[in-house]
């Protein structure tokens, strides 16, 4: 094996670790080249959304389930941290951890009966959960602030270091996102991940092979809900203000669209899907006015022409073209 072949083999063997290292390096130096607060703020929002979508990708893409209610868990994290810090005077970090624990317990309790459903029944049940939660935020104004929202949420801090500007928030939020990314990458390559993949392929066959399908579904549901809760808490402490509109059923649908566009079984694809859908309204003002129609149109086009997702679909197209090119130029 030549030195060049050894290098390519090493890169192939450690491609995941090297990709994470490159991404970490880019994120580390990004604020040095881009100091526009607006652009950094948009990047920070992508980081928060990515944490939610990574958890949802495990549940939808790998476990083969469907949820249109993860905006509710996102909102529980945000309002839980807001109420704990402002109303009860708890410090932000303990509030974040306590809220995540409570959301995990809640997801476990409702997950047992909820995940007996499948397909569109499960989708409608989770959509109903999100609808109920959104209405609670609107109606319980003595606690949540109602339609006016919840203000005065403190920023996160480590000792004297306050995360109250876009650069500091960039490192904090993307640090959380990279941890979530590493967690998901390791999970899908573990025995648990292979069990989830079997569950998504054929639940009956997975059960026959020894996978406890009911427990696996609840576990991944709880994990994805907890990740959404942590992202919600970060959202609240980043913007210091939250309102019910940030956690309605349209937001829940956007999260699913991000998963589908990135690729149903692609952890890396979630980064692309999340970035695309988050930035789309910022690129063209028309998209902001008709955002839901545009997002729906993109989803339909991707499902028709690239059903495996945008990233996986483009990679497959390149592979096919390269294979055809090699076949054409191969000696007869």
Q: What is the pLDDT of residues 198-250, one digit of tens each?
A: 777 777 777 777 777 778 888 999 999 999 999 999 999 999 999 998 998 88
**Residue 268: inside a domain, yes or no?**
no
- Tell me whether residue 118 is in a domain: yes
- Rounded to two decimals, the pTM is 0.88
**Consecutive H or E run containing 19:** helix 15-33
Q: Give which of 106, 92, 332 is closest to 218, Cα–Cα.
A: 106
- Whether the CB-CB separation of 177 and 278 falls below 8 Å is answered with no
Classify residue 2: in a domain, yes or no.
no
The dihedrals phi and psi of 151, each to the nearest 5 degrees, come to -110, 170
pLDDT at 293 > cutoff 80 = no
Q: Are 79 and 242 in contact (CB under 8 A)?
A: yes
Query: Is 148 contained in some domain?
Result: yes
Task: Identify whether 259 is part of a domain.
Answer: no
Higher-confidence residue: 82 or 300? Answer: 82
Task: Tell me if 196 is assigned to some domain.
Answer: yes
Specify if 279 maps to a domain: no
Give the residue among 68, 47, 1 at the shortest CA–CA distance from 238: 47
* Residue at 96 is within a domain: yes
Residue 99, pLDDT > 90, answer yes
Domain count for the chain, please give it.
1
CA dist list (Å): 250 to 6, 80, 127, 208, 316: 49, 21, 10, 38, 31
| Segments forming the whole domain that contains residue 195 | 23-248
16-67 confidence digits (pLDDT tens): 777 888 888 888 888 888 878 888 999 999 999 999 999 998 888 788 788 8
- Confidence tier at 91 by pLDDT (50, 70, 90): very high
């Amino acid at each position: 094996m030549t030195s060049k072949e050894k290098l390519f083999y090493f890169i192939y063997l450690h491609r995941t670790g090297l990709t994470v290292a490159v991404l970490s390096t880019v994120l580390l130096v990004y604020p040095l080249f881009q100091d526009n607060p607006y652009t950094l703020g948009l990047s920070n929002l992508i980081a928060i959304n990515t944490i939610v979508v990574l958890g949802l990708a495990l549940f939808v893409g790998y476990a083969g389930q469907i949820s249109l209610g993860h905006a509710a868990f996102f909102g529980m994290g945000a309002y839980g941290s807001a109420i704990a810090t402002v109303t009860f005077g708890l410090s932000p970090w303990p509030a974040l951890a306590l809220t995540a624990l409570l959301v995990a317990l809640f997801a476990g309790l409702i997950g047992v009966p909820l995940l007996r459903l499948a397909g569109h029944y499960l989708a409608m049940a989770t959509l109903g959960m999100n609808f109920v939660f959104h209405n609670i935020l609107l109606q319980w104004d003595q606690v949540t602030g109602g339609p006016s929202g919840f203000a005065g949420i403190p920023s996160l801090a480590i000792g004297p270091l306050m995360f109250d500007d876009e650069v500091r928030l960039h490192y904090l939020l993307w640090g959380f996102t990279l941890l979530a990314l590493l967690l998901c990458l390791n999970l899908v390559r573990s025995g648990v991940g292979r069990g989830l993949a079997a569950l998504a392929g054929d639940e009956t066959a997975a059960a026959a092979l020894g996978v406890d399908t009911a427990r696996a579904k609840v576990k991944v549901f709880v994990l994805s809900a907890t990740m959404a809760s942590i992202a919600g808490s970060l959202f609240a402490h980043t913007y210091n203000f939250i309102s019910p509109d940030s956690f309605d059923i349209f937001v829940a649908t956007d999260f699913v669209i991000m998963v589908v566009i990135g690729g149903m079984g692609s952890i890396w694809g979630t980064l692309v899907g999340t970035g695309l859908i988050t930035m789309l309204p910022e690129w063209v003002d028309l998209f902001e006015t008709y955002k839901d129609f545009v997002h729906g149109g993109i989803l339909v086009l991707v499902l028709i022409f690239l059903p495996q997702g945008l990233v996986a679909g483009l990679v497959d197209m390149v592979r096919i073209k390269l294979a055809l090119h090699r076949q054409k130029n191969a000696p007869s």
